[in-house]
Amino acid sequence: MSRSRSGGTALGRARPLDRQKAHEIQAFGQVIHRTIALSESAARQSVENLNQVLADTATLRDLYKKHHWQVAGPTFYPLHLLFDKHYEEQNELVDTLAERIQSLGGVTLAMAADVAETTIIPRPPRGREEVPVQISRLLHAHEIVLKEARTMARLAAEGGDDGTNDLLVSDVIRTNEKQVWFVSEHLVDVPLVRAD
Ligand SMILES: [Fe+2]
């Protein structure tokens, strides 16, 4: 009978080695050195800042999905679609931010509980709200992200981290500014049928 390296039978080798446990290979907050010609302090600062924008972007993303599901009223259909489009765009940003953090040698936030502990966007109620309230929440969340992203973009440029500066300006800031435009126009009180 053939034997596996561990001494078991050939049949035994087919058993998945599940329920394994070991220490983490990198703790959250630790930044490893990568050969990308960037100072350790600049990488560390960017990782910390990007994790904050990541937590707020993931929260804004989920706020869009909540509103996509819970929206009510005569504008249900266009808002249902718009909220989902913005959800997808924010989801792309989450992935871009997370992969930038790993590229810099950091550890990205990932799980909902960790995101909830980190975000500075106010927690909405579980229940449904009227459209103007939904949109007001979104605009407040966008403004939080835009404010911190602008500050962090400047800090990244000062530290020589042009890649992070570019990501924050070209992706995060521009996407959020455009979404604010699309969403905020729904709070302009213009007549639907008869002009004033
Ligand atoms: Fe859906």
Q: What is the 3-state secondary structure (H, E, C) of the chain?
A: CCECCCCCECHHHHCCCCCCCCCCCCCCCCCCCCCCCCCHHHHHHHHHHHHHHHHHHHHHHHHHHHHHHHCCCCCHHHHHHHHHHHHHHHHHHHHHHHHHHHHCCCCCCCCHHHHHHHCCCCCCCCCCCCHHHHHHHHHHHHHHHHHHHHHHHHHHHHCCCHHHHHHHHHHHHHHHHHHHHHHHHHHCCCCCCCCC
Q: What are phi and psi of 54, to 5 degrees?
A: -65, -45
Phi-psi sector, 179: left (phi>0), alpha (psi -120 to 50), beta: alpha
Whole-structure pTM value: 0.93
12 Cα to the center of ligand 1, angstroms: 45
AA identity, residue 95: D
84 Cα to the center of ligand 1, angstroms: 7
Q: What are phi and psi of 137, to 5 degrees?
A: -60, -45
194 Cα to the center of ligand 1, angstroms: 33
135 Cα to the center of ligand 1, angstroms: 18
Q: Which residues are within 8 A (CB) of 149 and not within 5 positions of it... i.e. 6 or more apart?
A: 53, 168, 172, 173, 176
- CA–CA dist 176, 61 (Å, integer): 11
Length of the chain: 196
118 Cα to the center of ligand 1, angstroms: 27
Give the count of beta carbons closer than 10 Å to the beta carbon of residue 21. 4
- CA–CA dist 101, 43 (Å, integer): 9
pLDDT of residue 101: 98
pLDDT of residue 9: 59
pLDDT of residue 12: 84
83 Cα to the center of ligand 1, angstroms: 9
Query: In the chain, which residues have pLDDT < 70?
Result: 1-11
pLDDT of residue 11: 66
